[in-house]
Amino acid sequence: MAVIGIPREIAPGETRVAMIPALVASLVRDNHVVLVEKGAGERASFRDEDYAKAGANIAGTAAELYGKADIVLKVQPPRERLNGRLEAESIKENAAYIGFFPPLVQKEVTDVFLKRGITSFSMEYIPRITRAQSMDALSSMATVAGYKAVLLATEHLGKMFPLLMTAAGTVPPATVMVIGAGVAGLQAIATAKRLGAKVEAYDVRAAVKEQVKSLGAAFIEVDYRESAEAAGGYAREQSPEFIRKQQEALSARLPRTHVVVSTAQVFGKRAPVIITADMVKLMHPGSVIVDLAAEQGGNCELTEPGKTVVKHGVTIVGAVNLPAAIPTDASMMYAKNVLNLFKHLYPTADAVPDFSDEITKGACITHGGQIVHETVRGQMK
């Protein structure tokens, strides 16, 4: 039996919660004690009384929760200040942490985990294999972000998305270009199509062409052959010549594009700059760019993370943490991913993680005061 703690997220702008009442019962049935900090789910519309009805106990303060929890489930990494020190320092020694955690970026959290002997499992590092699909929080949150990105575009664009034939005349449809046809990009395509826009999409991976076309969008071809897919289905960095050809192909379309939703990222590295300042100038005043890669530096050269700016008459949205803008469904999806990972790690109340398992080994960053993830350990040197 373990005490599972679900704290209230204290990162600025974060509204999600790591576990929802409907899934608490599953943990309780496995003889775990679930401890939820007071108000943890209120910003996602989950009440304390709903957690209590599901069998959880309510902790009045974060200090109480962290003092008792053997396993902490979170959304944001424990990098914020809590009572004058890093949130990670409040986690019990030799406890476990499950949640988002970029160890190479937030080295101060990694150091705390090492010093306190905390076993950490990062949602970002879950292997992208078939067995782990139900735990893939990156894909779940990308789905939410892709959907919300298009809705943000509709708010800033001065025209409607669908074709309308009215007594006052015909309103042509908006033209939307989606850059990057991963999970977020495909969801953006589907959402823009549902709203009636004319959609075209581009991705360096030719393999996604059929997926793009299946959603009713046109695929933008670049006349240059270069392998673009890295291990795990991620896009890899491209050569300068490929980037030049790519920018030429996209530039030719920008003058007739009303909305660009950019989602291109390279795992663990800065997002590629695909839309230069000169390319922005090609777009009509009133056009919109929603940059989902803003937190990784942005696909647009003029993106300012977390801000909405107007450059050369074009509104550029530096989208940050869009899943927090739809916290109820985002929390539900994330909580299911976390629960599936938890049950894989701890199949019974007295089980311990099997570190020979591919999923466990791939997701675990620190254990026993050591960095056990081979790739992370190598890059820390």
What amino acid positions are annotated as catalytic residues? 128, 133, 136, 139, 234
Taking the C-alpha atoms of residue 59 and residue 66, their distance in angstroms, rounded to an integer, is 9
Taking the C-alpha atoms of residue 59 and residue 228, their distance in angstroms, rounded to an integer, is 49
Query: Is 274 within 8 Å of 303 (Cβ atoms)?
Result: no
Q: What is the 3-state secondary structure (H, E, C) of the chain?
A: CCEEEECCCCCCCCCCCCCCHHHHHHHHHCCCEEEEECCCCHHHCCCHHHHHHCCCEEECCHHHHHHHCCEEECCCCCCCEECCEEHHHHCCCCCEEEECCCCCCCHHHHHHHHHCCCEEEEHHHCCCCHHHHHHCHHHHHHHHHHHHHHHHHHHHCCCCCCCEEECCEEECCCEEEEECCCHHHHHHHHHHHHCCCEEEEECCCHHHHHHHHHCCCEECCCCCCCCCECHHHCECCCCHHHHHHHHHHHHCCHHHCCEEEECCCCCCCCCCCCECHHHHHCCCCCCEEEECCHHHCCCECCCCCCCEEEECCEEEECCCCHHHHCHHHHHHHHHHHHHHHHHHHCCCCCCCCCCCCHHHHHHEEEECCEECCHHHHHHHC
Report which of 36, 91, 1 is spatially closest to residue 335, judged by C-alpha positions.
36
**Cβ neighbours of residue 127 under 8 Å, at least 6 residues apart?**
232, 358, 359, 362, 363
Query: Is 300 within 8 Å of 291 (Cβ atoms)?
Result: yes
Taking the C-alpha atoms of residue 158 and residue 165, their distance in angstroms, rounded to an integer, is 18
